[in-house]
Structure 1
Amino acid sequence: SVYGLQNDIRSHSPTHTPTPETKPPTEDELQQQIKYWQIQLDRHRLKMSKVADSLLSYTEQYVEYDPFLVPPDPSNPWLSDDTTFWELEASKEPSQQRVKRWGFGMDEALKDPVGREQFLKFLESEFSSENLRPVTIPPTS
């Protein structure tokens, strides 16, 4: 070689050390591994008390918006002769219940058409609506 090094330098390099011989696992070892992984699959990753607490808090938060559990404040105009629902929908002012629901998270405000409109109005007042307009408004077809 040019530098006086050995030609078989790779055989002495720590990155190219040959792998040690491994013996195949015995049948008992394989059975133990299978049993271990089956136990791991059956384990619950969350405590049931934590799951129950989060489910209860979620249902308590949304119970007043569920029409099956709580009758809607202005009743359904298709089922009753009360047209208050349509009058509220025609007005541009969102109801207090709607605004409270927007407080749960940004996704709630953006799911609601009136909430999305109010959010865009706010962005326009802050001169930043062009940044989020493609994100918040679905394309019309």
Structure 2
Amino acid sequence: MVLVLDPQYVPTRQVFTDTIIHDIYLQVKEDVNACLHLTYKFALTTNSCTSRATESYVRVTACFISLHWKLQSYVCKHRLYLSHTGANNVAVLLSAFNEWEILSNPPLVTENASNKVVASSEAGCNPHICCYAQTLNLAAQKYLLH
């Protein structure tokens, strides 16, 4: 998508946020949806964090191998306005499934936290795989502390 602007016209910040960026988002979303529906299989990953300003974030990312054998990943959802409970994580996952037209039972890779296990189960993600690197890190830390 190429943005062509009249040199005599300088759009306002409001035009950028309400129109131009929104139109670009819709085009990118359409392209990503097309990629997701063309792929044979994909998996989702999700992780959570809290900013220094104590804002909660949950990222849901779709990952797959393209028809040209290139790894692709797209962030489908990002931001949680509530705490990181299992129920709130379920709501984020289901919202992402709905918004991106993801069919039921997608595979999901998450952190090892209990809220992610609950969210995966209640959202119907199958299989649910806990992050191996985090598991290995937790085991190493436990070993080193004893």
TM-score, normalised by the number of residues in structure 1: 0.28
Bigger share in strand: 2
Q: Which has the higher contact order (CA 8 A, sep 6+)?
A: 2
Bigger share in helix: 1
TM-score, normalised by the number of residues in structure 2: 0.28
